[in-house]
Structure 1
Amino acid sequence: MTSSKPSAAVRPAPASYSPAELARRLGVSAPTIQRWVDQGHLKAWKTLGGHRRIDAESAERFIAGQGLPADLPAEAPPPLTVMIVDDNEDDRDVLCALVEEALPGATILLADNGFQALTSIGQAMPQLLITDIVMPHMNGIEMLRHVCGGSTVRPHAVFAVSSHTPQQVAGLGGLPEGVTLVAKPVQPAPFIEALRAAAR
């Protein structure tokens, strides 16, 4: 008499993701997901209600690092990666929109505190970093000291955005050398030009 063991239950993968769901999973902005769809890196469709859905299999391949088109030239440069660190959601949205306008095609990573940012910077190695100064748990100045203190993954350009005056920032300990202070509220035109210049 033979007996068969019951097979382990396997949780099925989701058939699809919404752009917001996939953005949260990857730690990027929803516009970045949309751009990857437009570039053909992710398969997507629209529901009858007009909502975009991302094919789960396509998303999993992309997450595993296999999602780039096979005909992408080997010498093609990697996309520019920008990290935005701010605990205020509205301010993050404003900065994200400005980066989208200044650097179309850039991958935007988001963090709401210094600890989270340090982990992401070590993994993603962004070329540009934009951070608030006053944040809970670890402020921007302390975070920047870790990033700029001889780290091999220091971004090429770093912007500290704050409503504090340069004198007030100095009173908090000052910014590391090479960090550009940008006053809040951010003036779009000069900031966009500064981002483009840094990317060049």
Structure 2
Amino acid sequence: MVRVGLTPERLTLAGAEMADEAGFEQVTLSALARRFDVRVASLYSHVKNSHELRTRIALLALEELADLVAAAVAGRAGKDALIAFANAYRDYARAHPGRYDAARLRLDPQTAAASAGVRHAQMTRAILRGYDLTEPDQTHAVRMLGSVFHGYVSLEAAGGFSHTAVDAQESWAWTLESLDAMLRQRNTP
């Protein structure tokens, strides 16, 4: 018998909360069933399997993050947009570490194309228009920014910057200033 109140959306949100609390890798149908005090079998009428649940959490995270980034960059351009964009990513990763990890889940091409991941790429390219980059430099810059933001956030979350006297926020600001300077320099003859 299906427990009253369980829906795919409720299970997805509970899985996302669990990911933030215990880590995305710890989200399983068994753990979720324990959270709702139901048998695992009762979840199968709402989600096919653990992969579907993990995909749903990834899609939720991508959507949440895209909404936050869009709000942060609205009305901004150039360096201000770049900094707002980067800070929105970092803030989301700090507030929702499990969801942030979920947003990195590899999606099949059809699911990825229909996800908010497309909005992330569009927003990144919109910010880069302020730097007048042409192809292939724009694609290189999209990949570079994603790599730098994700790398920094991941290292910071793992405690990688806690072993020096220099504050991680100071290094973050320096990194963003350097990215802006490099992007502006790309079109200087």
TM-score with structure 2 length normalisation? 0.27
| Structure of higher RCO (CA pairs closer than 8 Å, 6+ residues apart) | 2
Q: As a proportion of its length, which structure holds more strand? A: 1
- In our comparison, the structure showing a higher alpha carbon Rg is 1
TM-score with structure 1 length normalisation? 0.26
